[in-house]
Amino acid sequence: MTLMQRCRCSFSCAALLLVMCATATATTLERMSLARMSQTATLIVRARCLGNSAGWDAGEIWTLTSFSVEEVWRGSAPPRITVRLLGGRAGNLTSSVSGVPRFRSGEEVILFLESTPRGDFSVVSWEQGTFRIHNQLHPSRENVTQDTATFETFDPASRRFEATGIRNVPIEIFRANVEAALRNENGRKQ
C-alpha cells in the first residue's frame, strides 16, 4: 500500500468514526410501573426462547427471537411468536443498543409485548417489559426478576436515574399483581 493509499484509508476510517459518533445517542427509558406496562401491553406471555437470528433491514441490524408461548396472561397468541428488537450481530458487525434485552435459547421469560406493523412483536419499554424466570433452590419455586433491576431508568418524580426493578418475586405473586392491574384497567373502562 502506498503512502497516499494509507492516508486515504486513514482519512476514510476517521471520517466514518466521526459520523458514527455524531449519530450515536444515549438510551433513556422512563420508568414504568407494572400497572402501566400491563395496561400498555397488547400481549403478556410466559414464553421459552427457541433461538435468535439477526440481519439488516432499512440500514439497521435487527434481532428476531422466536419463542414458544407457554401461557398467555393477556391477549391471544399463536403457539410461536417472533420478537423483533433493534441491534444484534450481522456478519462481522455488531450493533448494541443500551436497554434492549437479548435472549438465550432455552430460557423462560415473562414478556410484555406490543404488536408491530410487520406482524411480529416488540417488548414494551425493552428491558422494563422483560422478566427472567429462575428457580430458587427448588424447581417448584419459580421467581421473576425484571431486567431493569440492573439497568438505570429515569424517574420523572425524583428527576434521577436509578437501577430499580422487580427482583426475586415468586411468579404466582407477580402474576396476581399483573391480573390486579388488568382488573383495575377494566374497571376504569366501564
| Lowest-pLDDT choice from 65-74, 98-107, 133-142 | 133-142
Residue 80 predicted with pLDDT over 90: yes
Q: What is the pLDDT of residues 93-127, one digit of tens each?
A: 999 998 899 999 999 999 999 999 999 999 999 98
Task: Give the closest residue to 67 by CA, choosing from 84, 51, 54.
Answer: 51
For the record, the C-alpha cell of 67 comes out as 419463542
Residue 146 predicted with pLDDT over 70: yes
Residue 34 to residue 128: CA distance in whole angstroms: 9
Residue 15 predicted with pLDDT over 80: no
Q: C-alpha distances in angstroms, 71 versus 26, 67, 74, 76, 136?
A: 34, 11, 9, 10, 21
Residue 3 predicted with pLDDT over 90: no
pLDDT of residue 29: 64
Residue 71 predicted with pLDDT over 60: yes
Residue 57, helix vs strand vs coil: strand
User: Which comes out higher in pLDDT, residue 38 or 138?
Assistant: 38
pLDDT of residue 28: 61
Instruction: Tell how strand 88-90 and strand 152-155 pair up.
Output: unpaired
Residue 87 to residue 27: CA distance in whole angstroms: 13
pLDDT of residue 27: 59
Task: Give the closest residue to 124 by CA, choosing from 75, 160, 161, 184.
Answer: 75
pLDDT of residue 11: 33
Domains defined along the chain, listed by start: 27-189 (2.40.50)
Q: Which helix (H) or strand (E) holds 108?
A: strand 108-115
Q: What is the pLDDT of residues 157-176, one digit of tens each?
A: 888 887 778 989 999 999 99
